[in-house]
Amino acid sequence: MLFKIRYFPKWAAEIAAALIALILFTPLAKAFFEKNQWQSVYIFGLALTLSYLLTPVFGWIARKGGILDIPDERKPHLDSTPLLGGGSVFLGTIIASYWLGGMFYSRGLLSILIGSAILFGAGLADDIKGLSAGFRLCIQMIAGAIVISSGVILSVIPENLGIISDIGNILLTFTWIIGITNGMNFFDGMDGLAAGLGAVIGFFLSVVAFRAGQLHAGWVCIGVSGACIGFLPHNFPIRERADIFLGDAGSTFIGFILASLAVYGDWAENDPVVALISPMLIFWLLIFDMIHITVDRIGSGKVKTFREWIEYVGKDHLHHRLSNVLGGARQSVLFIYMLSFCMGTSAIVLHGAGALEAILLLLQAAFILILVTILERRGRSLNRICNRSSS
């Protein structure tokens, strides 16, 4: 468990979670939360308990089916670890959203559900048998096309440009959804990192959605956050290694559904700059890391073609670099949690602000991560010097 309390064994936590889930499934409990307008609390609790209870089930299935992440030289874990943990996050989110009706409120939200399910299925196939990077990208584009076809499209380029606006906004939406999806997948390299980021991002997206009057989108966002937190006790236990991993199915599902919900939301009335920058701040770590590794890999000659770029696997992501400086993976994960929380609070401050304030907050976020990059690069240089001196 994430927090181990003495004299409170794991089986007791599972019984408590099962009782809470059973109570929440009753029509009386649902009516009570709806009457008091506590739908967000309801969906959060239901998603959390379902994910917590289903994770050991998917772990058992993964062990029986031999669906394991085998250690190698580029992976930090030492033992074969079950995949399929993303199944609990997926079902926790979908069931809780279905029970409250959030995912079926509009054609746009339904298309996000369908696209997420397709991507989750492809991720399962990748976890079980392995798929090529090119094929995974094609599936992501199909899922993104389903979302876009329902009218969930970024409105960045002014409409008065006609066909140029339509094509440009569609291409930007594809880039956003696929980029964030893969960015979250890249961050699934340490215990608790992708699920914890999903929880933080989902929470702040829900807050911004509620403040903008996007209730149903906010409920789904808080459902994702709850499902991720329910998974964390199995994936990020104190002083222990993870019992189970999200797998590609889980990390791509989290990235895709959150990226699509960010496009779906109308985060600021009559202010496209604020509407664009609010989600950018919430996802800023993923965006920054994607830009950083792309520039670094191309500049260093590690990748020379698009095919090499999508297939390249390295340990040069933000969490890897911070781990080298901070002295371990757990420190890196907690540090990234705090960075993500800082960016999310900046997005909340944007509510009611103007375009100038939005741009200043985005610049502040950029400077914070540039400073972090300078410090971690300096730290790596000092570590290399110390290692050479000691040898």
Please check whether residue 15 lies inside any domain of the structure: no
Q: Which of 133-142, 151-160, 172-181, 334-343 has the lowest mean pLDDT?
A: 151-160
Q: Which of 66-70, 91-95, 282-286, 307-311 has the lowest mean pLDDT?
A: 307-311
Q: Above pLDDT 90, what percent of the chain?
A: 42
Q: Is the CB of residue 33 less than 8 Å from the CB of residue 67?
A: no
Distance CA 149, CA 161 (A): 20
Please check whether residue 165 lies inside any domain of the structure: yes
Please check whether residue 5 lies inside any domain of the structure: no
Bigger pLDDT: 306 or 231? 231
Is residue 239 over pLDDT 90? no
Please check whether residue 10 lies inside any domain of the structure: no
* C-alpha torsion sign, points 279, 285, 290, 291: positive
Question: What pLDDT is stored for residue 73 in this prediction?
Answer: 60
- The pTM of the whole model exceeds 0.75: yes
Domain with 156, as residue range(s), is 23-390
What angle is formed at CA 221 by the lines to CA 219 and CA 223, rounded to 5 degrees?
70
Please check whether residue 9 lies inside any domain of the structure: no
Q: Above pLDDT 70, what percent of the chain?
A: 88
Please check whether residue 6 lies inside any domain of the structure: no
Whole-number Cα distances in Å, 220 to 3, 134, 205: 26, 30, 10
What angle is formed at CA 253 by the lines to CA 171 and CA 103, rounded to 5 degrees?
85
Of the pLDDT bands very low, low, confident and very high (cuts 50, 70, 90), residue 1 is very low
pLDDT digits over 344-366, tens only?
Answer: 988 888 776 777 877 888 888 88
**Nearest to 137, CA basis, from 83, 187, 177, 87:** 177
Q: Is the CB of residue 218 less than 8 Å from the CB of residue 109?
A: no
Is residue 271 over pLDDT 70? no
Please check whether residue 13 lies inside any domain of the structure: no
Please check whether residue 17 lies inside any domain of the structure: no
Question: What pLDDT is stored for residue 388 in this prediction?
Answer: 58
Number of structural domains the chain divides into: 1
Query: What is the residue whose two structure tokens read 């933000």?
Result: 318
